């Protein structure tokens, strides 16, 4: 799959962009020219300068530093949500597909119930009951999103479960957990990776919307959605304050979606060549 991805220039560029972004986020403490939280009322709305490469915001905080630091909660939370949904979706989907019968029925009716709702509103409501905050926003998005993954994984598990080596493993009286992890997981994992990548952009958008609405990251922590929120009252006079964080979200989501497309294209090619 990786060799095929390398042959897709769009996927490769997206991957490079995202890796670069992760590096920027990881090294934010060393790269940022200023403290992202430091107020300097004398420098309110300062233009671009050597001290503030992208200017300063309404409280005189360095925009570039806030963008770099802001990448951490944005990317970190999105990665966390992606990983948690993938794991939860795999565990529940694979259990349902492998166990079949009543367990399958019960789990899939739960999935139907969760999917019957508009995802985002349901997530808002969960934050409503738990209270605003990034941790609760992560819980809420995972709580509504795992069902999509579970359904995909279950369908896949049903197909893989018909293969002879799974019957062989069952005949050898291997424990279910061992069959699932040793034999099922390696076959399901590539699809889970593709689906998770395709989802990651959506997740990042939802998280930024949560922060924008005041339901996710709380001020004064820098985060991209939060930065758009803080810039909103000044956008008539200082539109650039909003352009920077918005562009950051937009570019990251485009890169994630393109990478997801390239990955799913590559995995389809692999599937076809194996068939």
Partner 1 sequence: MRQVTRRLILAPLILWATSTLSFLLLSLAPGGLESSLLHGLGLQPTPETIASLRSQFGLDRPLLERYGEWLVSALRLEFGRSYITGEPIGADFARLMPATVELAAAALALSLAVSIPVGMVAGMRVGGSLDLASRLLAIGVTALPGFWLGYLLMYGFSVWLDLLPLSGRGSWAHLVLPAVTLAAGQTALFARLLRNSVVGELRQPYVRFARARGLRRRHLFGRHVLRNAGLPLWSALGVAVGGLLSGAVVVETVFAWPGMGRYFLSAILTRDLPVVQAYVCCVAAIVVATNLIADIVHAALDPRIVTQAAP
**What residue ranges bind partner 1 (CB under 8 A)?**
113, 116-122, 124-125, 127-132, 201, 205, 208-209, 212-215, 225, 228-229, 232, 235-236, 239, 242, 246, 249-250, 253-254, 257-258
CB closer to partner 1, 81 vs 205:
205
Burial 46-63 (b: 16+ CB within 10 A, else e): beeeeebebbbbeebbbb
CB closer to partner 1, 77 vs 184:
77
Smallest separation, CB 183 to partner 1 (Å): 28
Question: Would you mind telling me the total number of residues written for the chain in this entry?
Answer: 275
CB closer to partner 1, 21 vs 185:
21
Which pair of tokens denotes residue 240? 């650039």
Q: What 8-state DSSP symbol labels residue 163?
A: S
Cβ 79 vs Cβ 229: under 8 Å: no
CA 249, 255, 256, 262: dihedral to nearest 10 degrees? 170
Which pair of tokens denotes residue 40? 């300097």
CB closer to partner 1, 123 vs 184:
123
Smallest separation, CB 211 to partner 1 (Å): 10
Smallest separation, CB 27 to partner 1 (Å): 25
Which of 240, 56, 17 lies closest to 228, judged by CA?
240
Smallest separation, CB 261 to partner 1 (Å): 9
Which pair of tokens denotes residue 2? 């990786």
CB closer to partner 1, 141 vs 166:
141
């Amino acid at each position: 799959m990786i060799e095929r991805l390398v042959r897709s220039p769009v996927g490769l560029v997206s991957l490079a962009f995202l890796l670069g972004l992760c590096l920027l986020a990881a090294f934010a403490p060393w790269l940022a020219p200023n403290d992202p939280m430091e107020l300097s009322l004398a420098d309110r709305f300062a233009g671009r300068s050597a001290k503030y490469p992208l200017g300063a915001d309404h409280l005189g905080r360095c925009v570039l530093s806030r963008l770099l630091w802001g990448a951490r909660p944005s990317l970190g939370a999105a990665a966390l949500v992606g990983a948690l949904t993938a794991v939860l979706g795999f565990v529940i989907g694979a259990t349902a597909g492998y166990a079949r019968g009543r367990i399958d029925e019960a789990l899939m009716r739960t999935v139907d119930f969760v999917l019957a709702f508009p995802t985002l509103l349901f997530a808002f409501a969960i934050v409503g009951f738990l209270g605003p905050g990034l941790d609760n926003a992560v819980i809420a998005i995972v709580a509504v999103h795992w069902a999509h993954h579970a359904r995909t994984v279950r369908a896949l598990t049903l197909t893989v479960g018909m293969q002879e080596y799974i019957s062989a493993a069952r005949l050898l009286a291997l424990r279910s957990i061992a069959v699932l992890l040793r034999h099922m997981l390696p076959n399901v994992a590539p699809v889970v990776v593709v689906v998770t990548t395709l989802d990651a952009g959506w997740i990042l958008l939802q998280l930024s919307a949560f922060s924008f609405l005041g339901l996710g990251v709380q001020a004064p922590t820098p985060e991209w959605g939060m930065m758009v929120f803080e810039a909103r009252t000044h956008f008539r006079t200082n539109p650039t304050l909003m352009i920077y964080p918005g562009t950051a979200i937009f570019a990251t989501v485009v890169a994630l979606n393109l990478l997801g497309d390239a990955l799913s294209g590559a995995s389809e090619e692999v599937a076809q060549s194996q068939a």
